[in-house]
Amino acid sequence: KRRNYPNGPLPLPVIGNMVPIMKQKPGYEAFRQWTKDFGDVFTFWLGTKPYIVVSSYKRLKETFILDGDTYADKAYQPFQEQFRGGQYGVIDTNGHVWSTHRRFALSTFRDFGLGKDLMQQKILIEVDEVFRKFDQNIGREQEIPGVFYNAGANVINQLIFGYRFDEEKQEELKKLKALMEFQETAFTTFKVQVQFFAPIVGRMLPGKSVEELLAEFTVDFYKFFDRQIEEHRSRIDFDSEENLDYAEAYLKEQKKKESEGDMELFSDRQLSNMCFDLWVAGLSTTHTTLSWIIAYVLNHPEVQKKVHEELDEVIGSDRLISTGDKNNLPFMNAVINESQRCANIVPLNQIHCVSKDTMINGVLVKKGTGIIPQISTVLLDETTFPDPYEFNPDRFIDEHGKLKKVEELCAFSVGKRQCLGEGLARMEMFLFISNFFNRYQVTPGSSGPPSLEKETMFNATPRKISAILTKRYL
């Protein structure tokens, strides 16, 4: 079977090439080694299925970027349809449903971000809240990530449903957090990882199956979304032109489409799946990256010193920093870029498939074959990023002290499926991190700087981060 695919490592029967991937967490190294051995287009096998990997920026550009339509589809995974109740949402759909809803979500978010500055306002409310929480324990050791987690949940929920989790909504947030945590950890078990890629072997291992776990966690999530949708519907003013959140914009579009006779494209089921995708894809990624940025800076006091020097020179007070300040803070941006590169939170990217027979690197690849834009290998490519495991923000600063644009920094992926929430995530990272370091001097807690080791497979969540914050302006 291997003859019909680009060359790659020899797979074992039934399990394919899982073993070398699992050998070193979180899974980067096998792909880096295979790129050295077989070049930047190779085939590896998950269970009995072949997947082509594209692992250099140059080749990603030739394929996913310049020939985007051929690489835009996602590979069909039956368990996704099972928990979603059909082909719904944006992450797992293809064709007209995917393109319509991707465009609609992007334009709604763009409208919030550019037209009305709503997005920034909502994030800055959370920056204030983060300050309030940290200030309660100033000078004492405290946990950092949890505070940012709640802030991130408030931002995404504000954008989708128009409200934040204030005091009386804390119970609701607790339940949602538990669901998110369940989702983040339950699916990293050995059984589940094997089952995703080699279903026959996976099912034989002890423990809960993918189907059982999905059933446990999605029901409550959908209940929350369905309740929100009903509440929105009951109080929406269909005549107002302004949209206060995504759900409102969606319900108005639904009404418009239904009046034209289309009852399916903007269905309620699709809306709850969109909410699911935006909530799940948007919260843990941003929160994980924020935690990593703080973890890297805590491990590099010389970086925090430079960050503070730049802030003193450019901002010079404890006023709130806004996106208008972004271009004047090149080192701050370089720290965020370098943290994203080192955090490298997507060790194995989403599985796409080619939508027609295609020549890749001299080999004819058949329509429907799975293909992965392997961005984690690009972020660790030593030809672009020498000493790739070193945290060095200066690699993003040019000889004039300006921020270098490096297109190989592709943590949000590339091509037609490039992250839908990139604009929001970038705004959150800049506003949370620049305001955090402008307000506080941050020193490690009693157990020292947080570990930078990646502990889990296919997932790069940081450990606990406890630190002592002191205010820089009294």
Residues at the contact surface with ligand HEM, assessed by CB under 6 A: 90-91, 102, 277-278, 281-282, 285-286, 289, 345-346, 349-350, 373, 411-413, 417, 419-421, 424-425
Q: In this complex, which beta carbon is closest to ligand HEM, that of residue 75 or of residue 321?
A: 75
Is 419 annotated as a binding-site member?
A: yes
Q: In this complex, which beta carbon is closest to ligand HEM, that of residue 191 or of residue 279?
A: 279
Judge whether 158 and 113 are in contact, CB under 8 Å: no
* d(C-alpha 371, C-alpha 374), whole Å: 9
- Residue 378: C-alpha distances to residues 185, 187, 285, 445, 459 (Å): 26, 25, 19, 34, 17
Write out the H or E segment, with its range, that includes residue 364.
strand 363-365
Beta carbon of residue 99, minimum distance to ligand HEM (angstroms, whole number): 9
Residue whose CB is nearest to ligand HEM in the complex, by number: 421
Beta carbon of residue 15, minimum distance to ligand HEM (angstroms, whole number): 25
Beta carbon of residue 257, minimum distance to ligand HEM (angstroms, whole number): 20
* Dihedral in degrees, nearest 10, Cα atoms 310, 315, 316, 320: -130
Of residues 92, 309, 122, the one with CA closest to residue 214 = 92
Q: How many CB atoms within 10 Å of residue 37? A: 11
Q: In this complex, which beta carbon is closest to ligand HEM, that of residue 123 or of residue 469?
A: 123
Q: Please confirm whether the linkage preceding 26 is cis (ω < 30° from 0).
A: yes
Q: In this complex, which beta carbon is closest to ligand HEM, that of residue 345 or of residue 433?
A: 345
Beta carbon of residue 412, minimum distance to ligand HEM (angstroms, whole number): 5
Three-state secondary structure call for residue 372: strand
Q: In this complex, which beta carbon is closest to ligand HEM, that of residue 122 or of residue 417?
A: 417
Amino acid in the structure at residue 119: M
Beta carbon of residue 349, minimum distance to ligand HEM (angstroms, whole number): 5
Beta carbon of residue 97, minimum distance to ligand HEM (angstroms, whole number): 11
Residues 6+ apart with CB under 8 A from 159: 109, 112, 119, 122, 245, 246, 278, 424
* d(C-alpha 293, C-alpha 337), whole Å: 9
Burial 253-271 (b: 16+ CB within 10 A, else e): bbeebeeeeeeebbbeebb
Q: In this complex, which beta carbon is closest to ligand HEM, that of residue 48 or of residue 79?
A: 79
Q: In this complex, which beta carbon is closest to ligand HEM, that of residue 91 or of residue 332?
A: 91
Judge whether 466 and 141 are in contact, CB under 8 Å: yes
CA angle 276, 282, 288 (to 5 degrees): 130
Beta carbon of residue 292, minimum distance to ligand HEM (angstroms, whole number): 9
Name 441's bridge partners.
Answer: 470
Of residues 17, 78, 22, the one with CA closest to residue 48 = 17
* d(C-alpha 381, C-alpha 364), whole Å: 27
Q: In this complex, which beta carbon is closest to ligand HEM, that of residue 187 or of residue 412?
A: 412
Beta carbon of residue 384, minimum distance to ligand HEM (angstroms, whole number): 18
Q: In this complex, which beta carbon is closest to ligand HEM, that of residue 142 or of residue 435?
A: 435
Write out the H or E segment, with its range, that includes residue 53.
strand 49-54
Beta carbon of residue 95, minimum distance to ligand HEM (angstroms, whole number): 12
Q: How many residues does the chain have?
A: 474
Beta strands 141-143 and 466-471 are antiparallel
Binding site feature residues = 419
Binding site feature residues for heme = 419
